[in-house]
Amino acid sequence: MTYYITKFALTKQGIVEYTPVKAHIELGHLLYQGYAIPPRHWHKDKESALAQAERMRKAKIAQLKSQISKYQKINFK
């Protein structure tokens, strides 16, 4: 079975396709290269992975816009 990992979606790695010989899932976390990937960041189908990555992208853009707004309000005297 192939798993789609979105934990690194906003980095150069993007969405990682992971096909383990034997899936190691402990307490809902998928073990991948020393990382315990929480359930919200691994998916069994590509469509849900793409939807999660899009939500992550939109949330990051909103966060950056808020940060920019705060910096624009700063006045140096």
| CA distances, 77 to each of 4, 38, 72, 73, 74 (Å) | 51, 46, 14, 13, 10
pTM as predicted: 0.81
pLDDT tens-digit readout, 20-66: 888 788 888 999 988 899 999 999 999 999 999 999 999 999 999 99
What are residue 36's phi and psi, to 5 degrees? -100, 100
